[in-house]
Structure 1
Amino acid sequence: MTCEIITIGDELLIGQVINTNQAFIAEQLNSVGIFTEKMTTIGDHATHIFEAFANAFSRHDVVCVTGGLGPTHDDITKKVVCEFFNTDLVMNEQVLHDIKTLAQRRNIALIQSNIDQALVPRTCTVIPNKHGTAPGMMFEKQGKFFFVMPGVPFEMKAMIEEWIVPFFQQRSSGLIIRHRTLKTTGIGESLLAHEIGDVGKILGSDGKATLAFLPNPMGTKLRITVKDYDADAVDQRLADIEHALRQKADKYIYSSDEKELEDVVGILLREKHLTLSTAESCTGGMIAHRITNVPGASEYFMRGFVTYSNESKIEELGVPAHSIELYGAVSKQVAEAMAEGARKISKTDIAISCTGIAGPTGGTPEKPVGLCFIGYSDASTTIALKFNFGDNRIRFKERASQAALDLLRRKLLKIE
């Protein structure tokens, strides 16, 4: 089955809101054997919406629409849906009950525009909205399926996960599609591809498996996809491909599920009963922020320093003033002193540090914008590694925090 995803809203076209709905819907439908062939984004214009509906429904088996179901004057999707399917609106008592219950739970007054959201097209199947007042809708016609959902991401996601995906799972033709994503860091896409080598030898020639390289500022994701009619065969094929990829690039792979790097190092620290502190300059606390995003981080994360000025490095971490004068604040020597100082002052087993030039100004020919030193210290060793993360300030901070956490991961796993 093929699908087109239509997202509606002027806010999407002017760049005011990032369109995350399309990617989520496509990923979820793909898991039940429905392939998204086209994505369309249109504004709040009735004629354009109707034309998009007609084009999509004539070409695809499934159409998923989000947006324009709210209670304001510019939410016109439901009206156009009625026109497209030649039907009218009727009051749905169950939806009205759900809206009243939600309003009571949130302690908000119920006004007429909210009540009107219980009006649904007569010929649709209602998809309950557990998190909002706008119900979803499904139309089935000539063996095709047309879904309409709110544009609010968490409302839409619940409908997809709890209603639409199970709906298609029950109607499945037997084809099983599964994905596994290996997250890598510390290596560029081109070099990673070189390390892996001939992908064809890993995937086989039967066309049932594919591998996608998905680069981002933090690293490159390797998405394995396997299709078959035998669930055990799919699982075994995924495992075999992952094993082959790990043989080629295991030291760069930090996760094969949804875990982020901070989750991974948290697990390692907890398992090894080790404690951690951080000393940051150019990242401004981002490393500590990521570490404390993990529930239970207080078991191993003791203290974080943000020492942005030279004075604070000296006063808070005990960095020797002569090291800064001789080598500069952005140097291997200072990064090492920051890590060692944080570890000793915090009385932790390990400390990591970061000092650099985030830009876009402040660089020199000897120390250009993007230069960064990541430090690591434990009871037996203190080191610092040199990087260059480019001249975009935000990406610099993201990449620096990733490199610091990856250095920690490698040390914990004794990966050189």
Structure 2
Amino acid sequence: MNKVSIISIGDELLIGQTINTNAAYIGEKLTAIGYEVIRNFTVGDNREDILKTFSDAEAISDFIFITGGLGPTHDDITRSCILEYFQTDLVFDEQTFERIKKLFEKRNIPMPEINREQARVPRIAKVIPNDYGTAPGYDITKNGKRFFVMPGVPYEMRGMMENTILPDLKNYIQSKNIFYNQKILYTTGIPESALYTKLEDIRPLFDEVKVAFLPSQFGVKIRLSMRSNDEKFNLKKIKFLEEKIRERVGDYIYTDEDLPIEEVIGKILTERKLKLAVAESCTGGLICHRITNIPGSSNYFERGVVSYSNESKIEILGVNPETIKNFGAVSEQTAIEMARGVRKISKADIGISTTGIMGPTGATETKPIGLVFVGYSDSEREFAKQFNFADNRVRNKDKTSQVALEILWRALTGKI
């Protein structure tokens, strides 16, 4: 009744030239309103393969979402495959043609004759308007199965989904009394395997509430979800399991909202009217970048300093030259002095710092690639934490920015 397959069409997807963000978006949006996505197909610009994929998807799904291949050029063959699969022909749609003309007029460029052909749509299709491009979408029903055909251009597809398709499907599934509920717990500072081990004694509960662990370099999401005809039942079961999980790993959960840790920190700093300053060496401004991605960060972020060289650490932050001489730029002592220095010169309430060896060069016998120190300083205490990451420079920067923000979050919430 609510099973979905997603078909993404285009050679560029198969050869890795384009990342398939469409399928991820469609899957996320449909899941959120109660549909069950059971299969993702990716197929090239080949007629036989496309037709077979249509058939395979129809056999297992109630709703089939197709993106790509609706453009005006010779390699865009989705429309012709639709005609063949549904045994229909094309008709000229005047409303679609007017939309296309107005789009070119708005851009103040002449409309190529080839775009007129895009106003010819399958006779059996209900047209899905495209507010952002020239290719219309199609809504086709066959044997109780519903096909949605959309352009592969992400913002055009999203416009059709948000303006037309999702509202319709949301009304449909509500009429069938199907409820999907989920809760996502966002963790940091603990790997997936360790999380799973800590929850070992409550694994039997995973049979009733579906649990997924979604790791990334920024942490692990724990998704709890249920689908049934009783929304209150879903919410009760999810809440019960959430409480059990929090009892075991609550110290690693920084939010249950769809917010990055830097936004969670920003809310705390704003509520407490605290100012933050950051001194970065190995992360090169990445922490400041993440903090200032959040609207309103000017309320709590005082300044950031990228002190990459030893000279800048000494001249700007006031790090003692003897500290660097005796312990090195990558050391606990230097990290603390960097955090203290940026806090003092900015008159902020809190200073944090990073110093480390990102690789692939720079290692010594005692200081390997991936060695990082994160410093913290406020009016009452100062400390630094050591971390040892791997040898990928970019990932090391990402991980260092995350642990620095984690330390800040833990300090603000009394967990450290």
What is the TM-score of this pair, normalised by structure 2? 0.94
Distance 2:270 2:220 in 1: 26
2:120 corresponds to 1:119: yes
Any conservation in 1 of the 2:181–2:231 contact (CA below 8 Å)?
A: no
Q: After superposition, what is the alpha-carbon deviation per residue over 1:40-82, rounded to whole angstroms, capped at 9, x for unaligned?
A: 1111222221222222223322211111112222222112111
Distance 2:326 2:189 in 1: 30
Residue of structure 2 equivalent to 1:23: 24
SS across alignment from 1:28: helix
2:222 corresponds to 1:181: no
Q: Which letter does structure 2 place at the counterpart of 1:110? A: M
Q: Which letter does structure 2 place at the counterpart of 1:215? A: P
* Alignment CA distance shift 1:238-1:101 (3 Å): farther
Distance 1:215 1:390 in 2: 17
Residue of structure 1 equivalent to 2:194: 191
Distance 1:115 1:351 in 2: 61
Distance 1:108 1:290 in 2: 39
Any conservation in 2 of the 1:4–1:37 contact (CA below 8 Å)?
A: yes
Any conservation in 2 of the 1:202–1:244 contact (CA below 8 Å)?
A: no
Q: Which letter does structure 1 place at the counterpart of 2:231? A: A
* Alignment CA distance shift 1:67-1:407 (3 Å): same
Q: Which letter does structure 2 place at the counterpart of 1:283? A: T
Q: Which letter does structure 2 place at the counterpart of 1:23? A: A
Structure 1: which 5+ runs fail to align?
A: none
Q: Which letter does structure 1 place at the counterpart of 2:191? A: G
Residue of structure 2 equivalent to 1:71: 72
Distance 1:157 1:178 in 2: 23
Bigger shift: residues 406-415 or 159-168: 159-168
* Alignment CA distance shift 1:56-1:303 (3 Å): same
Distance 1:161 1:247 in 2: 38
Q: Which letter does structure 2 place at the counterpart of 1:254? A: Y
Bigger shift: residues 360-369 or 275-284: 360-369
SS across alignment from 1:3: strand
2:160 corresponds to 1:159: yes
Bigger shift: residues 381-390 or 1-10: 1-10
What is the TM-score of this pair, normalised by structure 1? 0.94
Residue of structure 2 equivalent to 1:314: 314
Distance 1:332 1:131 in 2: 54
Q: Which letter does structure 1 place at the counterpart of 2:311? A: E
Any conservation in 2 of the 1:277–1:304 contact (CA below 8 Å)?
A: yes
Distance 2:216 2:252 in 1: 15
Distance 2:98 2:201 in 1: 59
Structure 2: which 5+ runs fail to align?
A: none
Q: After superposition, what is the alpha-carbon deviation per residue over 1:101-149, rounded to whole angstroms, capped at 9, x for unaligned?
A: 3333444432223332222111111112222222211110111111111
Distance 1:237 1:132 in 2: 44
Residue of structure 2 equivalent to 1:348: 348
Residue of structure 2 equivalent to 1:361: 361
Residue of structure 2 equivalent to 1:405: 405
Distance 1:109 1:261 in 2: 48
Structural mapping, 1:45-194, within 5 Å: 45-172=46-173, 173-194=176-197
Query: Offset of 1:202 from its aligned partner?
Result: 4.6
Q: After superposition, what is the alpha-carbon deviation per residue over 1:295-347, rounded to whole angstroms, capped at 9, x for unaligned?
A: 11111111111111111111121111111111111111111111111111111
Residue of structure 1 equivalent to 2:293: 293
**What is the percentage of aligned positions where both structures have the same residue?**
48
Residue of structure 1 equivalent to 2:250: 250
